[in-house]
Chain A
Amino acid sequence: MPVRPLNVGVIVKLEPDFSEGNVSYNPDGTLNRAETKNILGPHSAAATLAAFYCKVKYAARVAIGTMGPPIANQALKQAQIISNADELHLYSDRIFAGADTLATAEVLRLGVSRMNNGLGADIVISGHRASDGETGQTGPQTAWKLGYPFIGNVIDFQIDPENRSIHAKRFISLYGFYDVIEEIQAPLPVFISADPSYKPSFDTVSERLSLARNLNEARSKAENFEKYLQVYNSEALGADPRFVGLPGSPTIVYKVEKIPKAKAKRRVEFIDGNDTAQLDMAAEKLLQLMTEAPIK
């Protein structure tokens, strides 16, 4: 019997692109979200890379989904270039606004069920957390809602498509440090979050050939990424308005306070490399700073 193809779903979070020229501000100095370009956050990129690994190694079908305003397209294109995804999902509706992690998880749960031509996903992958101040709960909550086992901080994994199981390695944090690698075996379907350090490796000829093929395919797909884009509103997802958006959010953000910025202590001094006196001075200063530095 031929092995059932593997379906992978990735849930990503799009973040404002703070690189030069891409940020747009309102007249009052706040971020203009509508105009600012979105990019894939680094954590989501790691998740997307993990999906690419499945694509290269197991010829998986990959769908990428995100909840957000309808301007997220460029970032989905970026995700497609990374992963050679077959479907790009955008879950977008006014009533999703104001969602906390639980209400977001509800939308993503419904999204995952629409993925891969409605077959859903054998593996759902998320990032560790978003870099713009999210709490890292969306992933586990989505897993809980889907009823999938959750494996966090995955740094490496293998799938056994025949026995439909995953063998994963993950970092365990003890005393605030990553100092244990745990190996876990779990049945599919499963939900994993990719550790920010996740990097796939391709060590056999067939994987390298598949890698080259997929990279080429990804580039040409992403040129017409709109062809792969599916936009779902609340109705199309079949969402229950009680569980999404503000009504579905048991937590509310009461107030956001700016963390006062520490005053910069760095000072730049130019030294003329041809002037030995200046060089001596610099060396002395470095030495002094190093002996004073609180490094044991």
Chain B
Amino acid sequence: MEKYDVAVVGGGTSGLTALRQLANLGKQAILLEAGSTTGTKNVSGGILYSKKPKNGRVYNIEDVFGREFIDEAPFERAITQYILHATSKDKLYSIDLTPVHEYQINYAYSVLLSKLVPWLAKEASDMSEKMGGGIISGVHVRSIRWETGSNDTVIETDELEPFRVRAVIAADGTNSELADVTQSRNKFSSEQLYQGVKVVIKLPETILEDRFSITSEEGAAHLFAGDVTMNHIGGGFLYTNRDTISLGAVYHMDSMMENPVEPSRLIDALIRNQFVAEFIKDRVPTRKANQALISKDEEIRQHFMAVKLLKTWNNLRSDYYSRDGIKRLIESGKYKTREEIESRINNLEKELVEKYNCEFGDNYVELEYSARLIPDGKRCRMKTPYYKNVLFVGDAAGRGVFIGPRIEGLNVGIDDAVRAANAVARSLDRNNFDEQYLGSFYTKSVEESPYTRDMKEIDKEYLKIFLDCSKHIPKDIVGSRYGMIFKLMSSSTLRGIAVGFANMLGFDRLLPLVESVDTYVNVPVEIAERLGRHVDSNYIPNTPSLQERIAKLDYDDDSVPHIQVTKPRSEFMQKMVSLCPTRCYSSENGDVILQHEGCIECGTCAYDTLWRHPRGVKGVSYKYG
């Protein structure tokens, strides 16, 4: 049996950081990723934060990947505006939370993981190869075991011969199979999870910049609370990328279980919010069926011609509204001036309208639909994030920070990964993988992380900045229940006492009060109703059907289902019929049955099923992530 020093399971941002950090420390590690290539299975919102807390230190991505990350990594935009909108029907009240966003950060970039993760993978594997390690994708880790009389761990996969390692870093995400096989934690329950649902929308670069009033060096984040969640605890987000928009929402699973609504319908509600609709609006062609009496052959000829022209129109327009694109077009000598390109686009439109039955109007262009569970670290972080010589990091360890409207999972996983890699390197140096030497050391390091503090207690200063931003909201609005709290919080001395008291109580007891339908829905709705302005949109976005959304995704179907329904009649499973984002479940004579082919591996149904990731290469591959 082959033997290596370390196995890292999972090639998301956490796993790749662990691999690179181990290589930085001169250690050999093998990273195994189930996706056909790295970056095809990862979903985020996502804003990647680099932070500088006042007390303690965190490890940021550039600490591991070097200056090259800032100079070369394919991130989308530096997020420079951060605005929260309270919504109620067509009314909206906006609060500028940019100071909240900027609290203790070096920078924050919007990212698309299908671009960022392969870059990280290349950087990590180049370095790791020098240490005799590297990345193997398309391999699904099925199980791990310990042979009697040996401290080494045997890694078993669906694709490769088993091999031995001395330590394991489990970076296999929220639905960690390593956590299941080692029984090192329970499966996360609905109370501990949010369901994240997202669509990526196309919007040409300079149109996007005009619309959000940003330059090419800037980016905007808009958050939504109120009726956009259809009465669920949670909120919406809209992040600008280079020439796309990430629009999505997170919904607390408890409130989804209480009031199950299909995720794709929820996202439609967000898209149809008039304010959002205006943000994502673009000029979109549609082709009507030809009414004239023409032969089938002629109709087919026209169809192909129209498709060809539409492609040309689309590419030319994307280039026209992109800085690099327009430069390329003029440098190629094909066009001399901007005006020339513009008139070519207009002529193409005219030809499409006059000859090919096309119409151009307001709509939006959806590129990808995705969903994934997100652990709320306040409720589910592993208190001892290890089992024997296996260290859990990132989502696998249930470590995400939800503070205010901000979701932090990427940066937390990166910090964990560095701590885990450092701990493993230390054990390798001493050849000591005892729990006291490895696991306890790692646990202590993670406990010292400022992120863990954020999962345990309220940050007074952060709260003050938050309250300062929302000081124009009349206190009475927040209702009798919160009026008292608000009053307390508005005075600095009282705030100190109140936060101290709250922290003493602990998040456990505080959360049901703070994270409720009142705070997430009723209060914002009331704010919007009383203070908000009317927004009008002159069109209703034509949202695709779920079938159309699924049809756009890439799948490599496995003949063997990766999920087994064990309790077809349980209340939980009955709810999955609505809550599976791709409607894989249906009910037949009271039994819930699964059709796994459309599964996007979000993990929502994992709690009450035998849930595994598909075998290597199989399942969904995201193009944006």
**Which residues of A are interface residues toward B (Cβ below 8 A)?**
203-206, 208-209, 212-213, 270
Q: CB-CB < 8 A to B133: which residues of A? A: 209
Interchain CB contact under 8 A, A270 and B300: yes
Q: CB-CB < 8 A to B161: which residues of A? A: 203-205
Q: CB-CB < 8 A to A205: which residues of B? A: 2, 4, 30, 136, 160-161, 163
Interchain CB contact under 8 A, B2 and A209: no
**A195 to B159 alpha-carbon distance, docked (Å):** 24
**Which residues of B are interface residues toward A (Cβ below 8 A)?**
2, 4, 30, 125, 129, 133-136, 139, 159-161, 163, 296, 300
Chain B residue at minimum C-beta to C-beta distance from A206: B2
**A111 to B30 alpha-carbon distance, docked (Å):** 41
Q: With contacts A213-B129, A270-B296, A270-B300 known, is A204 near B163, CB below 8 A?
A: yes
Interchain CB contact under 8 A, B163 and A212: no
Interchain CB contact under 8 A, A212 and B30: no
Interface-centre pick from B2, B135, B136 (highest chain A CB count, 10 A):
B136
Interchain CB contact under 8 A, B160 and A212: no
- Judged by DSSP, the binding face of B is mixed
Q: CB-CB < 8 A to A212: which residues of B? A: 125, 129, 134-136
Interface-centre pick from B2, B129, B134, B163 (highest chain A CB count, 10 A):
B134
**A41 to B4 alpha-carbon distance, docked (Å):** 40
**A263 to B136 alpha-carbon distance, docked (Å):** 50
Chain B residue at minimum C-beta to C-beta distance from A269: B296
A79, chain B: closest CB distance, angstroms: 24
* Other contacts beyond A205-B161, A208-B136, A212-B125: 5, CB < 8 A: A204-B2, A205-B163, A209-B134, A212-B135, A213-B129
A56, chain B: closest CB distance, angstroms: 13
**A209 to B159 alpha-carbon distance, docked (Å):** 14
Interchain CB contact under 8 A, A209 and B30: yes
**A221 to B160 alpha-carbon distance, docked (Å):** 28
A-B contact pairs, 19 of them (CB 8 A): A203-B159, A203-B160, A203-B161, A204-B160, A204-B161, A205-B2, A205-B30, A205-B161, A205-B163, A208-B136, A209-B129, A209-B134, A209-B136, A212-B125, A212-B134, A212-B136, A213-B129, A270-B296, A270-B300
**A262 to B133 alpha-carbon distance, docked (Å):** 57
A154, chain B: closest CB distance, angstroms: 23
**A292 to B129 alpha-carbon distance, docked (Å):** 61
- Of all A-B residue pairs in the complex, the 4 with the closest CB atoms, nearest first, are A208-B136, A209-B134, A204-B161, A205-B163
Q: CB-CB < 8 A to B300: which residues of A? A: 270
**A66 to B519 alpha-carbon distance, docked (Å):** 75
B250, chain A: closest CB distance, angstroms: 36
Chain A residue at minimum C-beta to C-beta distance from B129: A213
Q: CB-CB < 8 A to A213: which residues of B? A: 129, 134
**A213 to B163 alpha-carbon distance, docked (Å):** 20
B300, chain A: closest CB distance, angstroms: 7
**A125 to B4 alpha-carbon distance, docked (Å):** 34
B624, chain A: closest CB distance, angstroms: 25
**A205 to B2 alpha-carbon distance, docked (Å):** 8
Q: CB-CB < 8 A to B129: which residues of A? A: 209, 212-213
**A205 to B3 alpha-carbon distance, docked (Å):** 9
Q: CB-CB < 8 A to A203: which residues of B? A: 159-161
Q: CB-CB < 8 A to B135: which residues of A? A: 212
A241, chain B: closest CB distance, angstroms: 50
**A197 to B163 alpha-carbon distance, docked (Å):** 29
Chain B residue at minimum C-beta to C-beta distance from A201: B159
A212, chain B: closest CB distance, angstroms: 6
Q: CB-CB < 8 A to A204: which residues of B? A: 2, 160-161, 163
**A209 to B136 alpha-carbon distance, docked (Å):** 7
A275, chain B: closest CB distance, angstroms: 12
Q: CB-CB < 8 A to B159: which residues of A? A: 203
**A213 to B134 alpha-carbon distance, docked (Å):** 9
Q: CB-CB < 8 A to B30: which residues of A? A: 205, 209
B38, chain A: closest CB distance, angstroms: 11
Q: CB-CB < 8 A to B134: which residues of A? A: 209, 212-213
Interchain CB contact under 8 A, B296 and A208: no
Q: CB-CB < 8 A to B296: which residues of A? A: 270
Chain A residue at minimum C-beta to C-beta distance from B126: A216
**A205 to B30 alpha-carbon distance, docked (Å):** 8
Q: CB-CB < 8 A to B160: which residues of A? A: 203-205, 208
Chain A residue at minimum C-beta to C-beta distance from B136: A208
**A227 to B2 alpha-carbon distance, docked (Å):** 36
Chain A residue at minimum C-beta to C-beta distance from B7: A205
Chain B residue at minimum C-beta to C-beta distance from A204: B161
Chain A residue at minimum C-beta to C-beta distance from B157: A205
Q: CB-CB < 8 A to A270: which residues of B? A: 296, 300
**A206 to B135 alpha-carbon distance, docked (Å):** 11
**A212 to B33 alpha-carbon distance, docked (Å):** 14
B120, chain A: closest CB distance, angstroms: 16
B169, chain A: closest CB distance, angstroms: 16
A23, chain B: closest CB distance, angstroms: 24
A162, chain B: closest CB distance, angstroms: 18
Q: CB-CB < 8 A to B139: which residues of A? A: 208
Chain A residue at minimum C-beta to C-beta distance from B30: A205
**A203 to B129 alpha-carbon distance, docked (Å):** 19
Interface-centre pick from B2, B135, B139, B160 (highest chain A CB count, 10 A):
B160
Interface-centre pick from A205, A206, A212, A270 (highest chain B CB count, 10 A):
A205
Chain A residue at minimum C-beta to C-beta distance from B125: A212
Chain B residue at minimum C-beta to C-beta distance from A272: B296
Q: CB-CB < 8 A to B4: which residues of A? A: 205
Q: CB-CB < 8 A to B163: which residues of A? A: 204-205
**A205 to B125 alpha-carbon distance, docked (Å):** 14
**A205 to B296 alpha-carbon distance, docked (Å):** 56
A282, chain B: closest CB distance, angstroms: 15
A256, chain B: closest CB distance, angstroms: 39
**A189 to B420 alpha-carbon distance, docked (Å):** 50
A55, chain B: closest CB distance, angstroms: 16
Q: CB-CB < 8 A to A208: which residues of B? A: 136, 139, 160
Chain B residue at minimum C-beta to C-beta distance from A208: B136
B351, chain A: closest CB distance, angstroms: 26
**A212 to B300 alpha-carbon distance, docked (Å):** 45
B339, chain A: closest CB distance, angstroms: 34
Chain B residue at minimum C-beta to C-beta distance from A210: B134
**A242 to B139 alpha-carbon distance, docked (Å):** 56
Q: CB-CB < 8 A to A206: which residues of B? A: 2
Q: CB-CB < 8 A to B2: which residues of A? A: 204-206
Q: CB-CB < 8 A to B136: which residues of A? A: 205, 208-209, 212
**A203 to B162 alpha-carbon distance, docked (Å):** 9
**A227 to B194 alpha-carbon distance, docked (Å):** 56
A27, chain B: closest CB distance, angstroms: 31
**A205 to B160 alpha-carbon distance, docked (Å):** 7
Q: CB-CB < 8 A to A209: which residues of B? A: 30, 129, 133-134, 136
A270, chain B: closest CB distance, angstroms: 5
**A141 to B134 alpha-carbon distance, docked (Å):** 43
B216, chain A: closest CB distance, angstroms: 32
B4, chain A: closest CB distance, angstroms: 7
A279, chain B: closest CB distance, angstroms: 16
Chain A residue at minimum C-beta to C-beta distance from B32: A205
**A205 to B163 alpha-carbon distance, docked (Å):** 8
**A212 to B37 alpha-carbon distance, docked (Å):** 12
**A135 to B106 alpha-carbon distance, docked (Å):** 69
B144, chain A: closest CB distance, angstroms: 14
**A236 to B145 alpha-carbon distance, docked (Å):** 60
B552, chain A: closest CB distance, angstroms: 20
Interface-centre pick from A206, A209, A213, A270 (highest chain B CB count, 10 A):
A209
**A209 to B125 alpha-carbon distance, docked (Å):** 10
**A256 to B159 alpha-carbon distance, docked (Å):** 50
Chain A residue at minimum C-beta to C-beta distance from B163: A205
**A212 to B125 alpha-carbon distance, docked (Å):** 10
**A203 to B156 alpha-carbon distance, docked (Å):** 12
Chain B residue at minimum C-beta to C-beta distance from A209: B134
Chain A residue at minimum C-beta to C-beta distance from B135: A212
A267, chain B: closest CB distance, angstroms: 14
**A270 to B295 alpha-carbon distance, docked (Å):** 12
